[in-house]
Structure 1
């Protein structure tokens, strides 16, 4: 009898968690937006005419690394609509073949999001290697599209530089993102 009474009380009485306030919901929304806002700011800054050598290639590396990390480790902070919009912005601001950067970011998001459970179980070196292979294949795809668009073979050296830069910057981005994940985006895990 006591068991039934306890069950009935549990169903009729409200839980002990208070209703989230508007301030709390806004705080959660801003914390979830940090990764894609970082990527949007980097795309805008790296596409600006600052005279930074390799700025466009660095924009590709930062974008791919950001999408790869956050899609694998916290997918709710890197939704597909944000990847699409920032990829579209990056395509509009870069002088590469139209649509290739957008498609590349969507492919990276799809791969990292689909394999996120496996990526969470492997060590950093294997994850970095997978990201590097993914960046290399996507830059070669961009190179092929550029060759088709120019109707002549072009040098693959800029594409290889772009892939090497994407692979080389990922460990630094990863350290920054792990710190951001533990302190800003998800402070309960600090």
Structure 2
């Protein structure tokens, strides 16, 4: 049986004849987005003299989970997304499971609609992401209102959705470059 040459080389299955180093390399490539997200969570939790660094964390994570779940789902699996969400809850002192639930919702929407999203032009996929980000941020706001038993102002949720939409083009370019570099490395 001939291997399918149209498949992405980064998603290729590990062959039994591969060395331990090539298997470790393949595993590290698959885990890279999750590990980088975890380090971003740790950096945002550190007492750095950067104003507003903790406020950008949810927007960064929503954008990152959406991109990797749609364009390279083997690198952003449900267990990884769940652990990242729990890590965010510990860092931000939010009720345990809220960030995990929200990130899993983003992951599910991106994962199950990836065949349609990845075929769309960039501006249309960005618009779809904007609606998803707005929905997730409004859901997060409603959870915050529910936990406090008080209607909070809507402006922080709208600001976070705006951050998500603003981060998407830059992170999309960066992550596409990373995928391309990994594919180039595989061809060597």
TM-score, length basis structure 1:
0.85
Identify the match of residue 78 of structure 1 among 76, 83, 93: 76
Describe the SS at the equivalent of 1:96. Answer: coil
Q: Which residue of 1 aligns with 2:117?
A: 119
Query: Could you tell me which residue of structure 1 aligns to residue 181 of structure 2?
Result: 183
How far apart are the structure 1 equivalents of 2:51 and 2:160?
12
Displacement of 1:184: 2.9
- Higher mean C-alpha deviation, range 18-27 or range 54-63: 54-63
Q: Distance in 2 between matches of 1:92 and 1:117?
A: 33
Q: CA separation in 2, counterparts of 1:87 and 1:185? A: 28
Q: What is the match of residue 26 of structure 1? A: 24
Distance of aligned partners of 1:106 and 1:78 in 2 relative to their CA distance in 1, 3 Å threshold: same
Distance change >3 Å, CA 95–CA 161, structure 1 → 2? farther
Relative distance call for 1:19 and 1:109 in structure 2 (3 A) is: same
2:139 is the counterpart of 1:158: no
Tell me if 1:35 matches 2:27: no
Quote the offset at 1:183 in angstroms: 0.4
The unaligned stretches of length 5 or more in structure 1 are 1-16
The structure number with the bigger radius of gyration is 1
RMSD: 1.9
Alpha-carbon distance, 1:97 to partner: 4.3
| TM-score of the superposed pair, with normalisation by structure 2 | 0.85
Size of the aligned set, in residue pairs, is: 174
CA apart distance, 1:30: 0.6
Unaligned runs of 5+ in 2: 1-14
Higher relative helix content: 1
